[in-house]
Amino acid sequence: MGMTSLRRRLLLVLVLSCAIILAACDPSRLIKADIAQQSQLVVAALSDPKTFNLALNRQVPNIFPLTFKGLTRVNNLTTEIEPELAESWEISEDAQRVLFTLRSDLKWSDGESLSADDVIFTYNQVVFNPEIPSSLKDMLKIGQSGQFPTVRKVSDRQIEFILPEPFAPFLSATSGPPDGVAILPKHILEETITAYDSEGNPLFLSTWGTDTDPSEVISNGPYRLARYEPGERVVFERNPYYWRKDDQSNPQPYIERYIWQIVESTNTSLLQFRSGGLDQVGVQAANFALLKREEKRGNFTIHNGGPAFGTTFISFNLNKGRRSGQPLVDPIKSKWFNTLAFRQAVAYAIDREAMVNNLFQGLGQPQNSPIDIQSPYYLSPEEGLKVYDFNLDKARQLLIDAGFQYDDEAQLLDNNGNRVRFTLLTNAGNKLREGMGSQIKQDLAKIGIQVDFQPIDFSNLVEKLANSLDWECYLLGFTGGIEPNEGANVWLPEGTLHPFNQSAQPGQDPIEGREVADWEQRIGDLYIQAAQELDMAKRKDLYDETQRITQEYLPFIYLVNALSLSAVRNHVQGVKHAALKASSEPFWNIYEIKVAQQAD
């Protein structure tokens, strides 16, 4: 071998060695290589998570359907209640005792055993704890007295719930996120219940915030938190201790990593999906035609789950209370908002058919009820449910009859000459809601009302709705479901999510002078009665009355029910898209979904 050839070989070895060393020193390349070797699913979220503490959560979407499970679960396709952490249950003849048997060898994501003690802890020390403002408790308040079930340990694998009276939605309430109680780890959280901070609040209220190291959040679902980078992403990794296995005894879920890519708007998530950065995106009417044309070339499929569950609405702040002597709502505006004719006039002035045609491209229909049309408890307009078809003349006449008046410029004034003007809030980044808000502003201008429309950051909006109560009107939505009692926290006057007239929650400053209207109390009473009733026909009669009252008094003015559409890459296998939950989350059966290998 000549010297020239030898030198070339030595130089090549040196170059390769340097390349290997440089690659080893570049963490980003290592991370990318690591990710490339793992199966993963990447989806978008419009905002950062607000908490890692399930009991304190009020936001959708959230991390909990992936990380925590309940005793039972709802099958999104069949809507049936199925076993989850509990392998079975027995119900007594009088329907007041339910005995659950846990699966054997259940474990937490840290490898510790999950037993009846965790179930007892979750219900008795967290959910039923009056010092913890969890919306989960509202769905388990039974009867007029609001009693909770008695929960007792029978053995390490058996737990008995003793109900004070029959309670029809009980199994649904045990179904885990997003609408039921999930089990929490006693060995991690018990000390936070019995210890207090300097202000006298349980440490639990400040435990598992989003500043917590993800490795400290111990879960029992198919995934556990791996990493959280604020404003960028939430990374979940497969929980090696999750109980599910397939028919060949292979552990589930199959996908190793589940990634939330945090984006600032639905437009951005659409761009990321089209460029291949996301595996799934919710399809809105404005982008349906575009995505449909790209379906084959983009190697994805648009799944249609039918009418979406959930509601979209505007709501006025009806709270007449005060904090520290200051009214929550300007008394002048509070008088308008609490005038029934004003709310009904607003409902008649919103052109929901135009909203369906222009913003939803015909892929939806006007919405009229808090109960989803797929639910057997839904009352249709054909059955007598009141609707507010677009009618500007009727809207103006209602206002005039209620003492409002118009000036020479057709601006609406109240009987004291005050210009009728209010602020409408929604979450910034949701382009469809921003479009709906803009149309509402234009529609109400036709009856002389000035709307100051302000899309704001979602976390700021939640702060106003849940804590400060400093708002006038907002545009948002609630998730839905088959069982109406899942909305008990909205409809009970003291519920933790009764936003149009919110009571003070544990740890908040008191509210003086809050009033509960007769119709408002009547809805709450009917929800209690319906939960007590086991006969389905009689339950429907009770829920029918709640829907008549809500449409008469309009604590929420419902807008449009869209189709549940989702675009999913074709390499994602096992998708069973159903409209039961949010349209942007078609992976309710995540444990059996697979990602096929793709060519480089």
* CA–CA gap between residue 359 and residue 355 (Å, rounded): 5
> pTM for this one?
0.74
* CA–CA gap between residue 200 and residue 457 (Å, rounded): 31
How confident is residue 145, by pLDDT bands cut at 50, 70 and 90? confident
Per-residue pLDDT averaged across 542-571, rounded? 96
477-535 residue pLDDT tens: 998 888 899 888 899 999 888 999 999 987 789 999 999 999 999 999 999 999 999 99
Pick the more confident residue, 411 or 467.
411
Q: Are residues 388 and 285 in the same domain?
A: no
**Residue 75: inside a domain:** no
Q: Are residues 362 and 510 in the same domain?
A: yes
| CB burial readout 529-559, b (16+ within 10 A) else e | bbbbbeeeeebbbbbbbbbbbbbebbbbbbb
Q: Are residues 279 and 322 in the same domain?
A: no
Position 37 scores a pLDDT of: 55
Per-residue pLDDT averaged across 68-77, rounded? 92
Provide the domain limits for residue 47. 42-51+206-308+563-595
Query: By mean pLDDT, which of 125-139, 296-310, 434-448, 569-583 is the weakest?
Result: 569-583
How many residues make up the chain in this entry? 600
Q: Are residues 402 and 524 in the same domain?
A: yes
Q: Are residues 477 and 536 in the same domain?
A: yes
**Residue 25: inside a domain:** no
**Residue 295: inside a domain:** yes
207-225 residue pLDDT tens: 999 999 999 999 999 999 9
Position 581 scores a pLDDT of: 53
Q: Are residues 367 and 475 in the same domain?
A: yes
* CA–CA gap between residue 317 and residue 330 (Å, rounded): 10
Helix and strand element counts for the chain (H, E): 17, 25
Q: Considering the chain, what is the average pLDDT of its residues?
A: 90
Q: Burial of 249 by CB count in 10 Å (0-12 exposed, 13-18 middle, 19+ buried)?
A: exposed
Q: Are residues 501 and 576 in the same domain?
A: no
Q: How far is CA 183 from CA 200, 230, 237, in A?
A: 26, 26, 19
Q: Are residues 290 and 349 in the same domain?
A: no
The pairing of strands 233-238 and 223-229 is: antiparallel
**Residue 476: inside a domain:** yes
Which residue carries 């793709």 as its tokens?
Answer: 598
Q: Are residues 525 and 568 in the same domain?
A: no
**Residue 472: inside a domain:** yes
Q: Give the CATH number, domain containing residue 278.
A: 3.40.190.10
Closest Cα to residue 476, out of 438, 514, 538, 430? 430
* CA–CA gap between residue 177 and residue 587 (Å, rounded): 14
**Residue 130: inside a domain:** no
Q: Are residues 364 and 302 in the same domain?
A: no
What whole-number percentage of the chain has pLDDT above 70?
92
**Residue 234: inside a domain:** yes
**Residue 454: inside a domain:** yes
Which residue carries 């799934």 as its tokens?
Answer: 280
Is residue 597 scored above 90 in pLDDT?
A: no
Q: How far is CA 429 from CA 282, 311, 316, 335, 434, in A?
A: 14, 19, 22, 32, 8
351-383 residue pLDDT tens: 999 999 999 999 999 999 999 988 899 999 999
Per-residue pLDDT averaged across 177-182, rounded? 89
Q: Are residues 342 and 486 in the same domain?
A: yes
Q: Residue 486 — φ and ψ, nearest 5°? A: -60, -20
Number of domains, the chain:
2
Q: Residue 259 — φ and ψ, nearest 5°? A: -120, 125
Q: Are residues 400 and 489 in the same domain?
A: yes
Is residue 314 scored above 80 in pLDDT?
A: yes
Strand partners, 307: 563
Q: Give the CATH number, domain containing residue 377.
A: 3.10.105.10
